[in-house]
Structure 1
Amino acid sequence: MKLSQVFYIIFLFFLVSQVNSTSDMIEQTCKSCAAKSTIFDYNFCVSSLNNSPIDLPSPTNLSSLALVPMLQALDNATATASTIQQLLISDDDGGFRGACLRDCLELYQDAADRLEEAVRVFIARKELGTVNVMVTTAMESAMTCEDGFRDRDGYSGGGAMMWTSPIGGENYKLFKLGQIALCIINMLSSSVTSITF
């Protein structure tokens, strides 16, 4: 066997071991998060972290992993605000649905601003507590948007008249991405606390 072939085999082995290391860390992180909450979606977590919008360093650490759901949530918030604008252009009749969409647009624009700032603060290595609050606020925006469609529009009957949200999937996705980010941020906070004290 030639020396170049030996180096090539060693390089491939190193590359595969780094990929496995990142995969293992993602799975362990998602398992830890799922163990802490009955509503945490393990499969969504693994899928999201494996589809990073950024190149993760190998081996991945929790700090770089925490950026992934924050950036995905920012993408989600920005895209959803754009979707809402299109919905308002195409079918705003000035009624209840349009009012809900206008509220959601404001909420999503605010969520995008909060998430953008959260990423900036996180990268600058400032307070994790501040990042936690910003991500939580973005998640609340999604839930507030969804709840707006559940209100009744002057309905006085005995039964509940529920309105269907045209962006329910986006609301739920932002909430789940926020859960992942918060879980990893809390892990980081715990490790900082345990080192400090």
Structure 2
Amino acid sequence: MKFLVYMIISLLFLSQYSNGSNLIIQSCKEASKNDPNLSYDFCVKSLKEAASKDKTQPTNLEDLVNMSINLTKSNGTNIMSKISKNLKNQSYDDYVKGCLQDCLDLYDDSLSSLDKAMVAFNKSKDLNTANVEVSAAMDDSVTCEDQFKERKEKNETSPLTEENHVYFQLNAMSLSFITMIDQHN
């Protein structure tokens, strides 16, 4: 009898995991098809890792929006920590430190935008405002990256290129899911 109960519980768990995994795969396929800035593999990997870490499986697109925005916020917080450490690096000149300080401010603003997006999405069901706020957060990572390129005489490279790219894609993922919800309504 215990074995039968264990099997039923296991099958229910696997069914839920499979459904969440299929939702991630199908949604990432559609999102990456509609947005050339979003990698399918990146989308699937990011969301599956988040679902595994949180021990929850998404059941609908709304869950994916929340997962992706929360994932982006966590990533942005980690980037801010890295920037703070980089600001203490004595090998960077004043120009790079100025850019890093600007990036710190930009990421702080972007996290505020993501908080506003979550409120708009979850409390008011205002997809337009959520879209605008996520877009603003996405633009902040681009602005951070671009300012390093402004000093052409030294061919300056950003110490945050990879982080800015990941943050951009995470925001692209959220935007794609919000757009998909809007199109399905």
C-alpha contact 1:92 1:98 (8 A) present in aligned 2:
no
Deviation for aligned residue 1:65: 1.2
1:101-140 to structure 2, matched below 5 A, reads 101-140=100-139
Q: In the alignment, which residue of structure 2 is the partner of 1:78?
A: 77
Q: In the alignment, which residue of structure 2 is the partner of 1:143?
A: 142
Alpha-carbon distance in 1 for matches of 2:119, 2:91: 35
Partner of residue 178 from structure 1, selected from 139, 147, 171: 171
Aligned residues: 183
Gaps of 5+ in 1: 156-160, 193-197
User: Quick one: which amino acid aligns to residue 5 of structure 2?
Assistant: F
User: Quick one: which amino acid aligns to residue 82 of structure 1?
Assistant: S
Identity, % of aligned positions:
32
Give the root-mean-square deviation of aligned CA atoms. Answer: 1.8
Query: Given the two structures, how large is their TM-score scaled by the length of structure 1?
Result: 0.85
Query: Given the two structures, how large is their TM-score scaled by the length of structure 2?
Result: 0.91
Alpha-carbon distance in 1 for matches of 2:116, 2:77: 13
Measured against aligned partners, the alpha-carbon deviations of 1:121-153 in whole angstroms (never above 9, x if no partner) come to: 222143011011111101100000000111126
Partner of residue 162 from structure 1, selected from 155, 161, 172: 155
Deviation >3 Å, runs of 4+ = 53-58
Alpha-carbon distance in 2 for matches of 1:55, 1:125: 27
Gaps of 5+ in 2: none
**Rg larger for:** 1
Deviation for aligned residue 1:169: 1.3
C-alpha contact 2:47 2:68 (8 A) present in aligned 1:
yes
The structure that is helix-richer by fraction is 2
C-alpha contact 1:136 1:178 (8 A) present in aligned 2:
yes
